[in-house]
Amino acid sequence: MTVAYRAGDASACADMFTMDAQLYSPYAPPAVGRGAIEAIHREWTDGGVPDKELKVVQTGGSNDFAWTLSSYSEDGGKVRGTSLAVWQREVDGNWRIRLCSLNSDD
């Protein structure tokens, strides 16, 4: 995700999500579905974000579901917060984000 975000690749960012995923953020209206999530990432990553940082803080899960709590920052640390993502293992064995909530430190 960090590599795709830094490169401005909204499609690759969105591919990390299930087709019916939900994304909640203080930076945009809720996005439901991979298409809407890609559109938001296109706005967020326009031109690339070379200093984007994502760090996993905690993880857990069971069976076909997992969660990650991550910290994020960009724009020289002016934009920062935490992200809670719920991951689901899909039929093909790939893990994708089903639900994500971004929380600004502001």
User: Measuring CA to CA, which residue among 95, 97, 106, 75 is closest to residue 24?
Assistant: 97
User: Measuring CA to CA, which residue among 72, 64, 66 is closest to residue 27?
Assistant: 72
The percent of residues above 70 in pLDDT, for the chain, comes to: 100
What pLDDT score does 48 carry? Answer: 84
The three state secondary structure string of the chain is: CHHHHHHCCHHHHHCCEEEEEEEEECCEEEEECHHHHHHHHHHHHCCCCCCCEEEEEEEEEECCEEEEEEEEEEHHHCEEEEEEEEEEECCCCCEEEEEEEEEECC
For residue range 47-91, list pLDDT tens digits in order: 888 899 999 999 999 999 999 999 999 989 899 999 999 999 999
Domains and CATH numbers, the chain: 2-104 (3.10.450.50)
Mean pLDDT of the residues in the chain: 95
What pLDDT score does 72 carry? Answer: 95
Q: For residue 106, what pLDDT band results from cuts at 50, 70 and 90?
A: confident
Note the pTM of the prediction, 2 decimals: 0.92
